[in-house]
Structures are given as structure tokens and as C-alpha cells.
Structure 1
Amino acid sequence: MNPALEAPGIALRAGALIALRGFLGQGGDAAQLSALPGGFVTKRRGHGQEVADVREYVAGDDIRHLDRGATARTGTLHVRRFQEERDRVTVLVADFRPSMLWGTRRAFRSVAAAEALALIGWQVIEEGGRVGLLAVGAGEPVAVTVRGRARGMLAVIGGLVRAHEAALELALAGVQEDPPLDQSLSGLGRVAPVGAELVIASGFDVPGDGLPDRLTELARRRSPRLIWLHDALADNLPPGSYPIRLAGGGRTRARISGDGPAFAATQDRHIAGFPALAIDAGAAPEVSARRLSAAFPPDREP
């Protein structure tokens, strides 16, 4: 590979993605509201094995759930209530199409997308869930089967690294056209089981006319959540005339007037009718970790 593509922020390293596990919990332990659907932190009651609380018996309670200790101490019947056990499955979707392979500061948007997904994936694993991967680009997609524990997350990281290296190789070979994102996501329904959470990290360039329909179709039996990777410096370039090199080797200039409103680095938006969390590719991983921790609380509804 070209040595220039080995630089930090351009190459995607497995070690760096593994180290992101240390950033878990940087958003604090307090319950927060999310910019994404299901942002209210809740606890479900159900028939699992983890005790949620103990309260006085009322008519209709299951007598099998009597708490002998509380009953003996108080002299009144008490019953246990249990947390519902849920098999949380999260499929991480990385956009490594050519438009993601650039950045003005710390890292390419593609690298920042992989970092954001790794942070979420490690959180899911820590909560006892399972993770899988679909990485899309200009070539063949890379899929990793849903698995649990650290071994499952390491397999996802390996898939991210392989897919990113393939994307850089295609860029070196002159592939610069983005396939429409709606077409790239066409196989997601086969990769993600029913009921899964889908976390799609993309710049959403060249979305394709069918992206709203694609996401709506997925939302019928799954929970899509969008992370929009942008570059805050590029979004707020000062007025001036900028040289641009075209794909065919020619050159032109683009003039930016500076009349439009400045973009706030924490501003979220709606894409194809779905809320999207904004992550600045130029921000440090710990900054992104705090935003993701608030937007993806541990007890979010799947």
C-alpha cells in the first residue's frame, strides 16, 4: 500500500479500535435523553432472573415470586419483580464509499465512522449483547456474523480493518464514484435479524432516491439509528476562492461567499426522515465517546 496511506487518521488500525474500549462510560452514569429514537431511559419489568425490586404483595401477583426475607422482616407478604431478559443484537453498518475517504484535520470520515461504531459495539458487548457488521464501499461489502462477548467484537474490528484497507486500495486504483447508499444497504435485511438495532455511520453522500423507503422498510422490523459523519472545518470554510482538482486530472476553482450560517459541531439533523446524530471527524475520540454515550444510553429501547 502507498506509504502515505499508513499515516494515523488515514489507516485504520485494529489496536486503536480495541483501545477505544477504555472510553466506555465517559458520558457519566446519569440517565439522559437521546437525540435518537427511544431516548428515554427505561427499565422493563419481566420474567428474567435479575431482581428489579421488592414490593408488597397485591392481589393477582404470582405467589411463586414471594420474597421470604422481606416477608419475614416486615410481617407482610412481599414479592420480587424481575428485569426482562432481552437478547440485544446490534448490527454496525460502516460506510467506506469513496466520499468517506477524506478529512481536513484529525482523521478521514471513514476512520471516524469506524471509531464511532467500535465505541457503540464495545458498549453493547459490555451490556451482554451481540454485535455484527456490514461494511459497504465501492467494492464488495464485508459482513461479519452476529456474535457475543469480546471475541465477537474483535471479529467486527477485523472486518472493519479489512473493509477499510480494501476501500483505500480501490481509491488508489482510481475508483472515485459512490454507489448509491440505498443500493449498498439492500442486503442489510438479510444480515440483521428481526428485532435488531441497526447503527449506520455515514456521511450520507449520494444517498440514492430510495433511501427513505429503504430505511422505512428496515424500521418495520428493526431499529435503524443514524450517525452522520461530517467535517466541521470543511463545513465552515472562510470566504474565498479555493482550487479543486477534478477526478479526470483537471483543475477548477470554487468560490465560497460565507453568507450562509455557520454550522454548529453538535448540530444534529434529519436524514431521509430519520434523526441522525452528528459526529465531527476532526474531534478527538473522547469527545465522540461522550456524545455517543448520551445518545446510546445502556437502557435504551431496542
Structure 2
Amino acid sequence: MVAVPAGVPDVPGIRLTATELMSLRDEAAARMRHRPLTRRAGAVPARLAGAGMDLREIRAYVAGDDPRRMDPAATARTGQPHIRSLHEDRDDTILLVADFRAPMLWGTGAALRSVRAARHLVQAGWPVALRGGSVAALMIAGPRPAEIAGSGGDGPMISLCAALARQHDAALAAPADDVPLAGGMARAMRLSPEGGRILVATGPDGWQGAESVLAALARRRVLTVALILDESEIQPPRGVLGISGGGHSRTARLLAPDLAPGLARLRALGAIAIEVMP
């Protein structure tokens, strides 16, 4: 049994556990078993042509082909120019970036925004691990982000789930609200190889201030920024609300935020911006 840190409520939806993250494995495996490869019967997945090292085919040269790939033997044998077509090399890697800073440690629904962020990340990580790909993690909760180097298979993924749960406990015990995302994201350059995927789970405005590093990452990687939305942002309560604190009180009305400008800005930086609904 894992001890609950002092001050951390052991309540589902507030405390993140490794067990719930590991349970998402079966869900990912089921999706992989039942997902059709294509609508056309009899089709099988194939590797794409590209600039890798493995030979795909030797074929006749056509205008636009790279002459550096000319195959001398086939050209001499047929009397016509032939080139070597190669398979494309693709790294099945993903870096999961969890924003556990103070603005993520709240929620009006069944779970904190940070808990839902971790679940979303792990749901993306398990399929990669089950395919034998590499899954790395970067957890930003304080001035010193925690990281897990990329690896594949069940064992490393289970360790990653446990690390997410530990870091979330630490964030709940000592929330940090003055830590910029950009400082932690700078480590993503080292954890994610060029051509790899990066998935960042943060709040609607959690990415602001990190535009330069996000743009740099998006230039050579597939960067997705998942905005974890709260129920109050989707359907704010109607009517006037009373707010009090520090001996003062006032009334206010909550309005749904306009996310369109932020989504457009992220896409302009080269990122794929998605909204994750409650």
C-alpha cells in the first residue's frame, strides 16, 4: 500500500494514483485490437517510401527522382536508368508533458484538471508502448521538472505511471504558481528526438509565455498542445455568484472564455491545438 502524503486528500479525482493510470492499458490494447486498418477488405499496413536505409524496390527512373539513388547494376542490366527506392524511417516516439503547476490543481467536476491531464497523456502513451515504441515524460510542477527518459514496453510505462502519481502528490502537497512553463519545456529538446511527437497537457492559458520554445519544438517535431477544459469553462453556472475572502465580498457572473484566439495562436506557432472536454 502506498502511503498518502500529509495534506493530500486520498479522494478519487483529487489524488492521482498509478493504479488508475495503469488500468488504461487494457483500454488501449482493446482499441488496437479492434481498430480497422482500412475500409477496404484485405488491405494491410505498409511502410511508406522515404529516405531510410531499408530497400523498398528498384524501379525505372522518372523525372523528379533523386539521381543520387541511381542503381548502377540495374541500370547496366536493363540499359535504362533505375533508382533504389527506400523505406521511410519513422521513430515511434512520444514525449508526454504534464503541467502540474498550481493553476492545474483545481476543478469543478469529478476530477481536478491535473488528474484529467495525466489521464489524457497516459491514454496517448499506452498505445505507443504496446507497439514497442518509446515513451518519455516531463512533469512540470516546480522549479525543477522531473523527467523520465524514453523507453518502451509495459515495465517502463508502469514506472512512468508511478512517477506521474508521485509528482502529482508532490504538487498537491506544495503547489507552485510562479513557475514558467517555458523553463521546463526547454528540456523537451533533449528528451524528444527530431521527428518525434510531443503531447503537452495544460490549461487554456498555461502555454502562454512559452511561445518561443513551442515554436522551436514544432519546427522539427509533431507538437500537440491539449487544453484541458473544466466544466465551468464549457457551461458556466447561470446567475450571479457571491464571492468572499479576506473579509471582503462581491458578486460576479462567470462567462465562458473565448478560446479561439489562443487556438489560432498555437496553430500559428506550428502546434496542433486540441480541446479536451470534461
TM-score bracket relative to the smaller structure: 0.7 to 0.9
Instruction: Find the counterpart in structure 1 of residue 205 from structure 2.
Output: 205
Distance change >3 Å, CA 212–CA 5, structure 1 → 2: same
**How far, CA to CA, are the matches of 1:261 and 1:93 in structure 2?**
24
Contact persistence 1:178–1:206 (CA under 8 A): no
**What is the CA–CA distance in structure 2 between the aligned matches of 1:2 and 1:165, rounded to whole Å?**
10
Aligned residue number for residue 193 of structure 1: 193
User: Is 1:278 aligned with 2:252?
Assistant: no
Stretches of structure 1 that go unaligned for 5 or more consecutive residues are 33-40, 65-80, 283-302
Cα–Cα, structure 1 residues 254 and 271, in superposed 2: closer, same or farther, change >3 Å? Answer: farther
2:64 match:
none
Identify the residue that residue 150 of structure 2 maps to in structure 1: 146
Q: 2:220 is paired with a residue of what secondary structure?
A: coil
Task: Report the CA distance shift for 1:7/1:270 in structure 2 as closer, same or farther (over 3 A).
Answer: farther
Helix, strand or coil at the partner of 2:98: strand
Within a 5 Å distance, the mapping from 1:120-199 to structure 2 comes to: 120-171=124-175, 175=176, 177-199=177-199
Q: Gapped runs of 5+ residues in structure 2? A: 40-44, 62-69, 74-84
Three-state SS of the structure 1 residue aligned to 2:171 is helix
Q: CA deviation at 1:21?
A: 1.2
Is the CA contact (8 Å cut-off) linking 2:134 and 2:151 kept in structure 1? yes
99, 103, 107: which is aligned to 1:103?
A: 107
One-letter amino acid matched to 2:110: R
Q: What TM-score, normalized by structure 2, do the two folds share?
A: 0.72
Whether contact under 8 Å (1:134, 1:141) holds in the other structure is: yes
Q: Report what 1:224 is aligned to.
A: 223
Letter in 2 for 1:155: S
SS at match of 1:220: helix
Displacement of 1:197 after TM fit? Answer: 1.1
Q: Distance in 1 between matches of 2:257 and 2:163?
A: 39
Partner of 2:19: 15
Would you say how many aligned residue pairs link Structure 1 and Structure 2? 242
CA contact (8 A) 1:241 1:253 kept: no
Q: What displacement does 1:137 show? A: 1.4
CA-CA distance at 1:142 after TM superposition? 0.9
Distance 1:115 1:31, change over 3 A: farther
Match of 2:36 among 26, 29, 37: 29
> Please, which moves more after superposition, 236-245 or 81-90?
81-90
Which of structures 1 and 2 has the larger relative contact order (alpha carbons within 8 angstroms, sep 6+)? 1
Query: Displacement, 1:4?
Result: 6.3
Equivalent pairs: percent with the same residue?
A: 30
Distance 1:125 1:179 in 2: 30
* Structure with greater Cα Rg: 2
The answer to whether the 8 A contact 1:244-1:254 is kept is: yes
In 2, distance between residues paired with 1:100 and 1:137? 10
| RMSD after superposition | 3.6
Residue 220 of structure 1: how far off its partner (Å): 2.3
